[in-house]
Structures are given as C-alpha cells and as structure tokens.
Structure 1
Amino acid sequence: MRHDTGTAHTHPTHPGHGGAGWSVAARATLHCLTGCAIGEVLGMVIGTALGWGNAPTVILAIILAFFFGYALTLRGVLSAGVGFKAAVRVALAADTLSIAVMELIDNGVIALWPDAMDAELKDLLFWAALAISLAVAFVVTTPVNKWMIGRGKGHAVVHQSHH
C-alpha cells in the first residue's frame, strides 16, 4: 500500500474495487468516529446544560454529528485541491452511511441503557454511557466501512478524490 503524504488528510490508496483490509476500515471508522463524537458530545452537553428533553437533545446531537463528520471530510478533500461543490459530493458519498450507522448504534445504546437518558453532565453515568456507546458504534461501523471501501464506496471515494 502506498501512502499519500501530499495532504493533511492522509489515506492509503485503494486500487480497483478489491477487498479492503481491516486496518483501512478501522482508520476510516476512526475518522468518522471523531466527527461523530465531537458532534454527539457537543449536542448532549448543550441539550443537557440547557435542560432540554431527551428528544431535542438527541436530535441536536445527531445533527451536530453529521455536521462535524462531514466537516472533517470536507477539510481533507478541500486541502487536496478539490473544488467545494465536488468536495461536498465526496463528503456526502463517503460518510453518510457510516455516520448514520454510527449514530443509530450510539443513540440506540444510550436509549437502551437504564437511566442514561436521564443522566446529567455531573453524573459519571452520562460520560460512561456516552463513551461506551461510541466504542460500540465504532465496533459495529468498522465492518460496514470495510464492506463499502471494498466496493469502491464510502471512504474509498475520499481516496479517489485525492488522486
């Protein structure tokens, strides 16, 4: 595997549509997790601090997870010299399914965890449930990204935009 070191957003290349390795999928998922975690934590903190109910807090967290997930991909694709309109298409193609799966699992774990939805910022349960839910989401989303990359979809689109 060759590494593209000409951008701030470094990825190995993926020739053709062959199978993707687990380390490639894990790196793509970690990238997705970073944006999701920023948005998820920020949304939960804002909603909880403002005393919002569960539904508006979760909705805000999901919106921010998508926003930051896409923003991190956009930053890398734009730094590779891709125009804004094309970069937006790349980010949407690369991250939509990954973020959606991650958010479904993450919020599902929190919703099913007893008392987690009622925990406050000062509670260990709030932070533990959030951290564990993101870890579970990472584990579940990695095979999804491996499957997509192996078929030239998902984060493989980001790699193609660099070349």
Structure 2
Amino acid sequence: MSEHAHHHVDHHSVAGHGDANINAMALSATLHCLTGCAIGEIAGLIVGTALGLSTLATIGLAVALAFVFGYALSTLPLLKAGLAVGTALSVVLAADSLSILTMEVVDNLVMAVIPGAMDAGLVNAVFWVSMMIALGVAFLAAYPVNRYLLRRGKGHALTHEYHHGAGTPSGARRFIPSFTTGTLVAAIAAFMIGGLVVSIAAELEDSGAGVHAQASVRT
C-alpha cells in the first residue's frame, strides 16, 4: 500500500467519529476477531483430538487456525467490496494481527490457569465452560487494543475505507459469501452452548450407567 493510501485511510477513518462511534467500531472489530478465533480454536481442538495429537501440538494447531479463520473472516468482506486478493490480505494482516495475537495469548493463558481445562476432552463440560470464560476474558483484553488502534487510524480503521473499493470483477463478487458479525457470533454461541449441553448429557449418562452397574453388582 502506498504512503498516500495510508495517509488517506488514517485521515478519513477516524475523522468525524466521536468516542461513541469509536467504541461501537471497537466493539464490532473485537467481536469479529473473537468469532474467527473461536472458530479456529474449536476446529483445531476437534482435529487435534480426532488425530490423537499431543496437547501441545493440538494447542499449536488451534492457535494457527485461529489466525487463519480470523484473517479469512476479515478478508471476505474486502473481496466482496471489490479489492484484489493481494491488497485485501495486506490490509487485513496490518489491521487484525495485534488483535488476534492479544486474544490468543490471553485465551490460552486463561485456559492454562483453569484447573483441568487443558486436559479436558471435547465431551466434557469443563472444556466448554473454560472455553467460554477464556474467550470472554480475551474479548475484554482485545477491546481496548482495538479501540487504541482505531483512535490512531489503525487496526480495523484500515479496512473501513475499502468497503466500497474496486478491484474484484463484479461477477466474481457474487460467489463470495457475506457473513455479518452478529450471525457469526450467534452461530458460535449456539455451537458452544450445544457442546456444553451434549457434554453434560454425556456425563449424566455415564453417571447413570455407573450407578446402574453398581446396583447390578450389589444384587
């Protein structure tokens, strides 16, 4: 991106935006990053568990996929708006890297602190509750980071000016999916709550089977 383009983005991305608007933009940006991180982490944990990877390898895969999905969710709207792939990726890398990094560091630290969270399986209520807590703390940590960047015309301010850009052929744009942040957040929340419910049901079933087995032995 040229120096002139950077100046254009920095100047117009925050001009005319009061604290209320910056707060709203920071909230949206943080929720967007949170969604990508959640998708990547859950996908990484599922794949790592299915492949029988070690805990460290599984965490590494989850973190890598968090970055991949985080960048992907930010790139798709820019492609839809008309930016070329290379331009979109360069903007997203500059805009989202610090936010995603903050989330991943905080999220994994919280998971490491919660007893049993790192060793809990996917069909375990401890895992899902711990994940919800970790993502919530990560959100609180990343929000001021995004707000700080926005006030300086950086972070998601870099993507704001490209919503009506040009570069991708109009015919190709029809094949690029559009996801609102609200829809993605709702889908992730539903998935995590579903995972928690399934885990609780499995634990209750195992508990009931154990009680039944003990009763059979006594008789």
- The TM-score normalised by the length of structure 2 is 0.65
Deviations 1:96-117 (A, max 9, x none): 0000000001111111111111
In the TM superposition, what is the alpha-carbon distance from 1:18 to its structure 2 partner? Answer: 6.5
TM alignment of 1:7-156, pairs within 5 A: 14-16=13-15, 21-156=22-157
CA–CA distance in structure 1, aligned partners of residues 123 and 82 of structure 2: 43
CA–CA distance in structure 2, aligned partners of residues 15 and 136 of structure 1: 27
Stretches of structure 1 that go unaligned for 5 or more consecutive residues are 1-12
In the TM superposition, what is the alpha-carbon distance from 1:125 to its structure 2 partner? Answer: 0.5
Aligned pair count reads 151
RMSD: 1.7
SS of residue matched to 2:153: coil
Q: Percent identity?
A: 50
The code of the aligned residue for 1:126 comes to: F
Stretches of structure 2 that go unaligned for 5 or more consecutive residues are 1-11, 165-219
- The TM-score normalised by the length of structure 1 is 0.87
CA–CA distance in structure 2, aligned partners of residues 17 and 102 of structure 1: 29
Counting helix residues as a fraction of each chain, which structure ranks higher?
2
Please tell me whether the aligned partners of residues 19 and 150 of structure 1 are also in contact (alpha carbons under 8 angstroms): no
In the TM superposition, what is the alpha-carbon distance from 1:160 to its structure 2 partner? Answer: 1.9
In the TM superposition, what is the alpha-carbon distance from 1:16 to its structure 2 partner? Answer: 3.3
SS of residue matched to 2:115: coil
Deviations 1:38-60 (A, max 9, x none): 00111112212333221101100
SS of residue matched to 1:162: coil
Rg larger in structure: 2
Please tell me whether the aligned partners of residues 90 and 161 of structure 1 are also in contact (alpha carbons under 8 angstroms): no
Please tell me whether the aligned partners of residues 78 and 162 of structure 2 are also in contact (alpha carbons under 8 angstroms): yes
Residue of structure 1 in register with 2:200 after alignment: none
Deviations 1:46-81 (A, max 9, x none): 212333221101100011000000001110111111
The code of the aligned residue for 1:127 comes to: W
Query: 1:101/1:140 Cα in 2 relative to 1: closer, same or farther (>3 Å)?
Result: same
In the TM superposition, what is the alpha-carbon distance from 1:93 to its structure 2 partner? Answer: 0.8
CA–CA distance in structure 1, aligned partners of residues 120 and 104 of structure 2: 19
